[in-house]
Amino acid sequence: MEEAEERYRKKLSGQSKTLKAAVAEYRRRYGRAPPKGFDDWWEFTQKYDVKMVDEYDGLVQDLEPFWQLPGEEVRRRAMQVGELPSIDLVRIRNGEATVINVNPNFHDSEVSARARGFKSMMGQFVKYLPDMDFPINAKAEGRVLVPWEHRMYPNLTLQDSSGGVESMLGGPFKPDWDAHGNVWEAWRRTCNPQSPARRLFSSLRAASSIQSKNRLALTDIELGDDFHFVAETSSTEDYCAHPHAHYQQGHFFSDWRSIPVLYPIFSPARAQGFMDIKIPSHYYYGSTKRYTYGWDSVNLELKDVDPMEVPWEDKIDKIFWRGATTGGGSHPPGFSPRYQRHRFLRMASDHSNTTRVVTFAEPPSSTSSFVSAAVPIGKLNDEVMDAAFVKVVSASSYPGGLAALERDHRFGDSVPLGRHWAYKYLIDMDGMSYSGRFMSFLASDSVPIKSTVYDEFFTDWIEPWVHFIPISSSYMEIYNIYAYFSGATQSTVEAANSTLAYMDPEDRRSVEGDRRLRRIARAGKRWKQTIGRTLDMEAYVYRLCLEWARLWADDRESMDFSL
């Protein structure tokens, strides 16, 4: 936490203070001039006190492959991909933006929602932009998976798209997989041919053996395997090297067909291996009762403090989650028990005597004396967990159907978003794609514990262990995270035969841990108020539009900015 705070302070304080400095920093990072209109964008950031003005590495990386294509090819591919199901076009002409559904014959309940959100984000500056199109993904799931050979050796791929989208795709595009493959088969082709994912059709190795490469292992093996913590979220998991790990993530089983050609598709999140271009989620930008902290759906106004917010001292000291049984599709079927939400719910619903090793400070004020004990997970869950499914989606895709789902997982009633604020810890997990509730969790006075395989527009702007607590995709360390911040539970001290078992529970609490936990809650809330604003999303989209306009042009040098 101390290292993360220092890293974040250095990043924030090091942002450019003048246009001249921002131009120099851009050239240093990317080896070329900023795009035309950079000065207007800079003026926008200064007017609205945008803090992160240099941190756009993710944006530049998303667009980098399109520098290999001439402007005419970029324009043609943007139009072609808009013909595919569940892709909308946001079209700018003469300083005005419109949303176009090129394929109205394909009916999709999600069509245009994300495109309308993206169009709204341009509202303050669209009149300054040149004509161009943005193909917007109507789905949350990623869409573009280009095989490794075609990325490394573009000449292997048809580069001239003048024959139409079917010539590029090798035939008509079907919106779902049917019996013609699945995401994992398409995804593993993005790996190096020498990687295990390419050399092996599949792996039967147990997923529990996975060790994330960014775990920070301690030397004291008596602490147990559960005493490992990730330095960041698990988006760095190397599925090419560990193909068996893919069984733990539902996005590899999506029903939605991926696109194996470099087409520009703008999506709200990007997982490893995909080549979608990230944009802010419309859930983050708009205000709804399901996704927005402080939204008064009766008076239709946004309040600084949610009416259901609870003072820190009165928050329930448990880990809270409510959600639906989403998390992946059924291509191939039968793997949903391993999806991220199902795995967490089964762990949190486990009332067996299976033990987890928990490590805690003894006495609570100690920074050097620790005790470990094997504690029955059933008792731990009673003490620290409040997690449940509230909605069943595609029960038939779970082996055994609804009866098996209800047997293996806890179910509860739906709750309003504001109910979350009654708890200190809020688990944030991927669904069909990214989690749309993360921004609201940050805005609250509670602490998000986040596990994800996705990067989003703000990934370069936020710091794990400062603004939220990252957790591995196995969730194994969650009981030790709780023990550090909130102190040992009754079952933990009893299992350790600790003298703390005879103390009042309040006296067992870690003063240092609670102070740090509250510090994270405050930092996350402050981040949302100053860096995660809708204005910051607009600044991101503005910068993206300038970069895209340059790629859209035939004469890209004419679209450079110079002082």
The answer on pLDDT for 466 being more than 70 is yes
Instruction: Look at residue 288 in the predicted model and tell me its pLDDT.
Output: 93
pLDDT tens, residue by residue, 234-257: 667 889 999 999 999 999 999 999
| 59 CB-near residues (< 8 Å, 6+ apart) | 278, 457, 540, 543, 544, 547
Instruction: Look at residue 364 in the predicted model and tell me its pLDDT.
Output: 82
Instruction: Look at residue 110 in the predicted model and tell me its pLDDT.
Output: 59
**Inter-CA distances, 334 with 205, 256, 399, 403, 408, Å:** 17, 17, 6, 15, 15
The answer on pLDDT for 205 being more than 50 is no
What average pLDDT does the segment 473-488 reach?
94
Instruction: Look at residue 235 in the predicted model and tell me its pLDDT.
Output: 65
Report residue 206's pLDDT band, with 50, 70 and 90 as the boundaries.
very low
pLDDT tens, residue by residue, 531-551: 999 999 999 999 999 999 999
User: Which of 381, 382, 405 minimizes the C-alpha distance to 393?
Assistant: 405
What average pLDDT does the segment 403-429 reach?
96
Q: Round to whole Å and give the CA distance between 317 and 482.
A: 9
Q: Round to whole Å and give the CA distance between 252 and 485.
A: 34
pLDDT tens, residue by residue, 286-307: 999 999 999 998 999 999 999 9
In this structure, the number of other CB atoms found within 10 A of the CB of residue 333 comes to 13
Maximum distance among all Cα pairs of the chain, rounded to whole angstroms: 78
The distance of Cα 411 from the centroid of its chain, to the nearest Å, equals: 25
Q: What are the contacts of 408-413 at 24+ separation with CB within 8 A?
A: 408/337, 408/342, 408/346, 408/349, 409/325, 409/342, 409/345, 409/346, 409/349, 410/345, 410/348, 410/349, 412/322, 412/388
Alpha helices in 394-453 (DSSP H): 401-408, 438-443
The answer on pLDDT for 421 being more than 70 is yes
The answer on pLDDT for 141 being more than 60 is yes
Instruction: Look at residue 202 in the predicted model and tell me its pLDDT.
Output: 45
pLDDT above 70 covers what percent of the chain? Answer: 94
The answer on pLDDT for 109 being more than 80 is no
**Inter-CA distances, 336 with 73, 246, 305, 326, 329, Å:** 40, 12, 38, 9, 8
pLDDT tens, residue by residue, 444-453: 999 999 999 9
What average pLDDT does the segment 40-61 reach?
98
The answer on pLDDT for 552 being more than 60 is yes
Asked if the peptide bond before residue 464 counts as cis, ω within 30 degrees of 0, the response is: no
pTM tops 0.75, yes or no: yes
pLDDT tens, residue by residue, 272-286: 999 999 999 999 999
Mean pLDDT of the chain: 91
C-alpha torsion angle, residues 121, 124, 130, 135 (rounded to 10):
10
Instruction: Look at residue 204 in the predicted model and tell me its pLDDT.
Output: 39
The answer on pLDDT for 418 being more than 80 is yes
Instruction: Look at residue 145 in the predicted model and tell me its pLDDT.
Output: 97
Instruction: Look at residue 226 in the predicted model and tell me its pLDDT.
Output: 81
The answer on pLDDT for 215 being more than 60 is no
Q: Round to whole Å and give the CA distance between 66 and 63.
A: 6
Instruction: Look at residue 22 in the predicted model and tell me its pLDDT.
Output: 98
Instruction: Look at residue 103 in the predicted model and tell me its pLDDT.
Output: 76
Instruction: Look at residue 337 in the predicted model and tell me its pLDDT.
Output: 93
Q: Round to whole Å and give the CA distance between 326 and 310.
A: 29
The answer on pLDDT for 221 being more than 80 is no
What average pLDDT does the segment 223-243 reach?
80
Report residue 509's pLDDT band, with 50, 70 and 90 as the boundaries.
confident
